[in-house]
Amino acid sequence: MYSHLYAGLLKGSKLVGELGFAIRMVILLPMVSVATSSGAEVTLTWNDNASNETGFRVERSSDGSSFSVLGTVAADVTAYIDETTLPSSTYWYRVSAYNEFGSSGYTNVVNHTTEPEVNTAPTIIGLSNQTVDADSGISGPFPFTINDEETAADQLLVSAMVSNGSLIPSQNITITGSGTNRNITIVPAAGSTGSCTITVYVTDGVNTSSDSFTVTVSPVASFVVSDPPSGSTYHLGDSVTIDLSVLGGADLVSVTYFLEGIPVAVVEEAPFTRNIGLPVTGTLEFYVVAQLSDGSELSSQPVQIDVQDMVAPSGLTVSRFP
Q: What is the pLDDT at residue 230? A: 65
User: How do residues 22-36 score in pLDDT, each as one tens digit?
Assistant: 333 344 455 656 555
- My answer on whether 107 and 150 are in the same domain is no
Q: What is the pLDDT at residue 246? A: 75
Q: Distance (Å, rounded) from C-alpha 17 to C-alpha 15?
A: 6
Residue type, 183: N
- My answer on whether 195 and 232 are in the same domain is no
Domain end point (choices 83, 113, 143): 113
Contact 235, 265 (CB under 8 A): no
What does each of the 322 residues of the chain score in pLDDT, given as a tens digit? 333 333 332 333 333 333 333 333 344 455 656 555 555 689 999 999 888 999 999 999 999 999 999 999 999 999 999 999 988 899 999 999 999 999 999 999 999 998 887 888 999 999 999 999 888 889 999 999 999 998 999 999 999 999 999 999 999 999 999 999 999 999 999 888 899 999 999 999 999 999 999 999 988 877 777 767 766 788 888 888 887 777 776 778 888 989 888 898 898 888 888 888 888 888 888 888 888 888 888 888 888 888 888 888 888 888 776 6
Contact 226, 242 (CB under 8 A): yes
Contact 314, 275 (CB under 8 A): no
- Neighbouring residues of 176: CB distance < 8 A, sequence distance ≥ 6: 141, 182, 183, 184, 185
The number of residues in the chain equals 322
In a domain, 51, yes or no: yes
Domain with 41, as residue range(s), is 33-113
Q: How many CA atoms lie within 13 A of 207 on its CB side?
A: 14
- My answer on whether 183 and 204 are in the same domain is yes
In a domain, 242, yes or no: yes
DSSP string, 214-274: EEEEE-EEEEEEEETBTTS-EETT-EEEEEEEEET---EEEEEEEETTEEEEEE-STT--E
In a domain, 175, yes or no: yes
- My answer on whether 105 and 41 are in the same domain is yes
In a domain, 26, yes or no: no
- My answer on whether 134 and 173 are in the same domain is yes
- My answer on whether 239 and 298 are in the same domain is yes
- My answer on whether 207 and 228 are in the same domain is no
- My answer on whether 201 and 229 are in the same domain is no
Contact 260, 283 (CB under 8 A): no
Domain end point (choices 185, 218, 251): 218
Q: What is the pLDDT at residue 13? A: 32
Number of domains in the chain: 3
- Neighbouring residues of 157: CB distance < 8 A, sequence distance ≥ 6: 202, 203, 204, 205
- My answer on whether 166 and 107 are in the same domain is no
Q: Distance (Å, rounded) from C-alpha 186 to C-alpha 169?
A: 9
Instruction: Read off the pTM.
Output: 0.56
In a domain, 192, yes or no: yes
- My answer on whether 127 and 189 are in the same domain is yes
- My answer on whether 75 and 162 are in the same domain is no
Domain end point (choices 67, 83, 113): 113
In a domain, 18, yes or no: no
DSSP 19: T
Longest dimension (CA), the chain: 173
- My answer on whether 280 and 264 are in the same domain is yes
DSSP string, 171-185: GGEEEEEETTEEEEE
Q: What is the pLDDT at residue 37? A: 52
How much helix, strand and coil, in percent to the nearest 5, is found in the chain? 0, 55, 45
Contact 158, 200 (CB under 8 A): yes
Q: Distance (Å, rounded) from C-alpha 122 to C-alpha 51?
A: 54
The domain that holds 199 is classified in CATH as 2.60.40.10
In a domain, 118, yes or no: no
In a domain, 313, yes or no: no
